[in-house]
Structure 1
Amino acid sequence: MLRRYFRGPHVSWAQAVHPVADDEHGLRVWLPAGAGFACRVGPLVQGAPTIEQYGAAPLERRTWADRDVLILHPPGAAHSVWWFFRERRFLGWYVNLEAVIARHPNGIDVVDHHLDVVVDPDRSWRWKDEDTFAASTDRPGFWSTSEASAIRAEGRRVAAAAEAGRFPFDGTWCDFRPDPAWPVPQLPHSTTI
């Protein structure tokens, strides 16, 4: 399936992922090293003063490298939780703050909010990309100051769950192993993603 990130009306990332489960915990997908993905590249990606200039940066096809990732989209949540693995060893969690997923026949779409929370295996945490988040606040096509407050509050709620060792930071799926028969997912061959 396809997992697309949007910034404004523009696809910023597209990841080919393998569906794992869709149950009371949410939608889980597997993103292994070697999977196909695409991302916007170039100097306009981080420093674009407008959403239109950001959308003008080219979308380049690449191969996901270095780490395998189990991604959870909890039902109705404005974030996803990522379990990072390298050579089957759990490395920690990553919380991507984003809009609630929108489903479509080929996968899911999310609107990325730039700000993220990195959670180490000992459940200590830190913000990531605060400068980019602040620079995008109140820009047309991104989010307002009041929306930024709600995004940051979502991050604080997830960080509190991590500190307390509550699900999903309670050790669940830290030993996840994909089915060896699963093929490595690739992006569709069409020119549009």
Structure 2
Amino acid sequence: MSILPQGTPAAAPDDARPLGEGPFLPPGAQIDWHYRKPGWQPGEPSTISPMRVVRDDENGLVAWLAPGTLQESQGAPDGQRVRTVPLARRWLEERTRIVEEWWGNGVLRIAPAGLPWSVWLFWSETTGPEWTFAGWYVNLENAHLRTDHDTYSSDHILDVEIDPDGVIHLKDEDELAAAIEQGRLSPEQAAQIERHADAAIASFEAADWPFDAEWLGWRPDPSWTIPELAGLGELRRRVT
């Protein structure tokens, strides 16, 4: 499912296996969710989110990103978030390693085995017994490869937003166009990403399992603590 020719599909370790192949982790176990550029090398910036496993089986991975989680992220040269870089040079600037706290409420992420996207469920209100569902976010990416406690992918820039009432929007089309202009992607690669978006929308319209209504009523185990990512303390000292 990779559209990017450099390196392994998700710049994953040599012993990584596809999602859906055991051994699997039990609910509540920590798994670190990585986004790396194609051809990633050790020490280069990446995004790493420590999460709690909700379900891990032959269908894929479901994991919970709790509010307040500290994660390693990719920053602009000045240490700010990448989105602070003007679009006209966003894919030309070097990236740095930063730490940031996951903002807002928690997110349930569902990565179907073998497919080039993951489905993220957002809630706008989580303080009462009835959470307010805010919609689905389909992150287009390489099909995941994983080791026992980590999963790896590469982000494809374009995304799909689906409102609670089912209205569908493409997101970051301007970033995709900039990525072509700045040499991050070829026109052929961008066209493949757009086909993946169409396939993800078809999956939503078919009510495939990542979009099943059961997930809207899912809630995290109240005993779960916020997982911690190894090495964050050292990284924070290095970038602050």
What interval of TM-score do these two structures reach, taking the shorter chain for normalisation?
Answer: 0.7 to 0.9
Paired residue total: 188
> Structure 1: any 5+ residue segments left out of the alignment?
none
Whether the 8 Å contact between 2:116 and 2:143 is mirrored in structure 1 is yes
For residue 28 of structure 1, the aligned residue among 50, 59, 62 is 62
Please give the per-residue CA displacement for 1:44-80, whole angstroms capped at 9, x wherever unaligned: 4853343xx333xx32212112121110110101000
Matches within 5 A, 1:35-74: 35-41=69-75, 42=80, 43-44=84-85, 46=87, 47-50=89-92, 53-55=93-95, 58-74=96-112
8 A Cα contact 2:180 2:190, kept in partner? yes
CA distance 1:24–1:102, change in 2 (3 Å):
closer
CA shift, 1:124, in A, is: 1.1
1:119 lines up with 2:124 in the alignment: no
2:220 aligned partner: 178
Structure with max Cα Rg: 2
SS of structure 2 residue aligned to 1:146: helix
Deviation sequence 1:146-190 (CA, Å, 0-9, x none): 221111111111112323444332313111111111111122135
Matches within 5 A, 1:1-193: 1-8=31-38, 9=40, 10-41=44-75, 42=80, 43-44=84-85, 46=87, 47-50=89-92, 53-55=93-95, 58-85=96-123, 86-87=125-126, 88-137=131-180, 139-140=182-183, 142-189=184-231, 191=234
Stretch moving more, 66-75 or 104-113: 104-113
Q: Percent identity?
A: 32
What's the C-alpha RMSD, in Å, of the aligned pairs?
A: 2.3
What is the identity, as a one-letter code, of the residue corresponding to 1:133?
L
Corresponding residue SS for 2:114: coil
Q: SS in structure 2 opposite 1:123? A: coil
Given that 2:32 and 2:48 are in contact with CA atoms closer than 8 Å, whether structure 1 keeps it comes out as yes
The structure with the largest strand share of the pair is: 1
- Secondary structure of 1:91's match? strand
Cα deviations by residue, 1:103-158 (Å, 9 ceiling, x for unpaired): 13441111001100001111111011111112112755x43222211111111111
